[in-house]
Structure 1
Amino acid sequence: MSPWIKQIGFILLAVFMLPNTTESKKDDVLYCSACMAIAEELNHSISQTDPKKTIHVGGFRLNPDGSLNDKKVPLARSETHLTELLEGVCNSMSDYALYEDPVTKEKSYKRFAPRGNDGGNFPDFKNFKFDGPESSSALKFACESIVEELEDNIISLFASEADHVAKKLCSEVSGHCKSSFFQHSEL
């Protein structure tokens, strides 16, 4: 056996025997904030949808009695509408930046960009850290990871729940936020 084959064999043996130290740990602040941002953005989009609009759901098959088996549900919380909203929710992560609470010194990503209907309520920018596009791209990546992993759970939660969806999604379903986060949060 040639010496270089032995060297390759030893290298491969060493690589497979070493403990897996390259497995990255998820940044708790980043993933909790991304989850909370998903809930905030979806809640906002739902609130902007006309509550009078409805959509037909169910099969369009005839029942044995000749009637149709379909029903109307509010568009805002329909699976179809929520799926559309979920497809674009991570694009709004560029409106968030790392925020440090001046009292508790706790860090989280918060929305800094006002929405068109915020009525001039601008946040205090001195507590935000704008670290360039890397920061918002990390938040967007975390958002996309959560959406990909939990899409069905997110849709079913928002379709059936109106209260405390952020807590249910981010603490109970995903586990990205500790339940203690919600005790001193305004959500």
Structure 2
Amino acid sequence: MTSWIIHVTMLVLSVFIGSTEGKRDRMLYCSACRAIVDELNYSIGQVDPKQTINVGSFRLNPDGTMKDKKIPFARSETHLSELLDGVCGSMSDYALHVDPDTKQKRYMRFAPRSSGEVGDFPDFKNFQFDGPEAANALKFACESLVEELEDDIISLFSQTAVNVVDKLCSSVSDYCADAKLQNDEL
């Protein structure tokens, strides 16, 4: 009898979980995707471009030579994997922003980075600081995207792809495919 109850419970849970997976907040996930790209671009830019790493096989060829090549460390799979491990920790520097003209909502960075960047940050009066729940939602969306799209993210960033935001957030993930979201720049 208890195994029947367990089976029914598992069935109900799987139906519930399956029905909630498809109902992701597009604005939240688009914002998280854009934030991931922004944070990775910033982190890659902080690495000395002269720093390289050896990649390839370290086996000897029949002629006694080794086939390896040097690539920029900043865009190496090793470095990108390390960056992805910590990228979602910066989501606490983002808050919901409401454009005063269009009333469009999206999460944007409100905090300057540790390098003393002053930058052109929007006026704080257009941000909604809704407490830890909103920050946790953005962090969860970030973690979900990193888990789902890790290979695509590494591939795009290691190739120095142009328009990574559009490729990753619109073409690959489809979260920013909406015209209003797609044409907004970070």
Please state which band the TM-score falls in when normalised by the shorter chain: 0.7 to 0.9
What SS does the aligned partner of 1:161 have? coil
Give secondary structure in 2 for the equivalent of 1:59.
Answer: strand
Residue of structure 1 equivalent to 2:45: 47
What is the match of residue 155 of structure 2?
Answer: 156
**Structure 1 residue corresponding to 2:96, chosen from 84, 95, 98:** 98
Give me the whole-angstrom Cα distance separating, in 2, the residues matched to 1:120 and 1:33. 19
**Match of residue 30 from structure 1:** 28
Distance change (3 Å), C-alpha of 1:114 and 1:87? same
Instruction: Find the aligned partners of 1:186 and 1:41 in 2 and give their Cα distance.
Output: 14
Given that residues 114 and 121 in structure 1 are in contact (C-alpha distance below 8 angstroms), is that contact kept between their aligned partners in structure 2? no
TM-score (norm 2): 0.86
Gaps of 5+ in 1: none
Q: Residue type matched to 1:93 in 2?
A: M
Q: Could you say what secondary structure the match of 2:35 adopts?
A: helix
Deviation track 1:127-183 (CA, whole Å, cap 9, x = no partner) reads 000000000000000000000111111101100034200110000111111152233
Q: 1:80 aligns with which of 68, 71, 78?
A: 78
C-alpha RMSD of the superposition: 2.1
1:85–1:131 distance in 2 versus 1, CA, 3 Å:
same
Residue equivalent to 1:130: 129
C-alpha contact 1:99 1:128 (8 A) present in aligned 2: yes
Unaligned runs of 5+ in 2: none
Q: 1:119: Cα distance to partner?
A: 3.0
- CA, structure 1 residues 73+173, in 2 after alignment: closer, same or farther (shift >3 Å)? same
For residues 168 and 80 of structure 2, the distance between their equivalents in structure 1, rounded to whole angstroms, comes to 15
Looking at CA atoms only, which structure, 1 or 2, has the larger radius of gyration?
Answer: 1
Residue 182 of structure 2 is matched in structure 1 by 182
Aligned residue for 2:70, secondary structure, equals strand
Deviation at 1:63, TM superposition (A): 1.1
Task: Look up the SS of the partner of 1:69 in the other structure.
Answer: strand
- Number of matched pairs: 174
Partners of 2:86 and 2:16 lie apart in 1 by: 34
TM-score (norm 1): 0.86
Aligned to 2:164: 165
Residue type of the alignment partner of 1:152: D
SS at match of 2:60: coil
Aligned-partner SS, 2:57 = coil
